[in-house]
Amino acid sequence: MRKTRNSAGQSSAASAGVNTESWPATYLRIGISGWTYPPWRGVFYPKGLAQHRELEFASRAHNSIEINGSFYSLQRPSSYQRWYEQTPQGFVFSVKGPRFITHMKKLRDVQTPLANFFASGVLALREKLGPVLWQFPPNFGWNEQRFRDFFELLPKTTTEAAQLARLHDAKLK
């Protein structure tokens, strides 16, 4: 894993006064949830940095960033491809799973929505695809069988994810 450096050549953690030499670097990722935050302009992002370059900038300050927009709607394959290209080698995205699955369907009858999610282009992140975060509403009660069924549907590899993606809705392009 590469060490992320700031403009002064320090690692992100070092610039915060944290000694990371003994940390197991292959397992530790420090990042942010999303990258489009107008209040950060001129504070975290340099003044005058074009909005379309914010991911590029943030991905050099952190080694992982969560894609939050995938929670609200399916993203376009071209977006995932662009995000892949804008980030350095060794960078990893965490991708938030769709709320349609967790909040609306409440894990019931979700094979097609899961297929749609994986067919939406998320696999274009290739080796930069890290964990998928499944966020549940606060009122989601524990239902062991429903979670077991959901876990059985989840692909364990990118090959399985690509196979599942082939089961997407016909209307998904």
In this structure, of 4-13, 61-70, 74-83, the range with the lowest mean pLDDT score is 4-13
Helices 158-165 and 111-119, axial angle in degrees (round to 10): 110
Q: Distance between CA 173 and CA 119 in Å, rounded?
A: 9
pLDDT at 8 over 70: no
From first CA to last CA, the distance across the chain in angstroms is 35
Average pLDDT of the chain, as a whole number: 89
Closest CA to 90 of 70, 60, 118: 60
Q: What is the pTM for the complete model shown?
A: 0.81
Distances (CA, A) of 83 to 55, 60, 78, 88, 169: 8, 13, 9, 10, 25
Q: What is the DSSP letter of 102?
A: I
Six-digit token pair at 121? 């282009």
pLDDT at 9 over 80: no
Domains and CATH numbers, the chain: 12-165 (3.20.20.410)
pLDDT band at residue 3 using 50, 70 and 90 as cut-offs: very low
pLDDT at 28 over 60: yes
Instruction: Find the mean pLDDT for residues 41-66.
Output: 97
pLDDT value of position 173: 65
pLDDT value of position 171: 77
Q: Distance between CA 66 and CA 122 in Å, rounded?
A: 13
Q: Which residue has the higher pLDDT, 10 or 107?
A: 107
Answer whether 65's CB lies under 8 Å from 55's CB. yes
pLDDT band at residue 1 using 50, 70 and 90 as cut-offs: very low
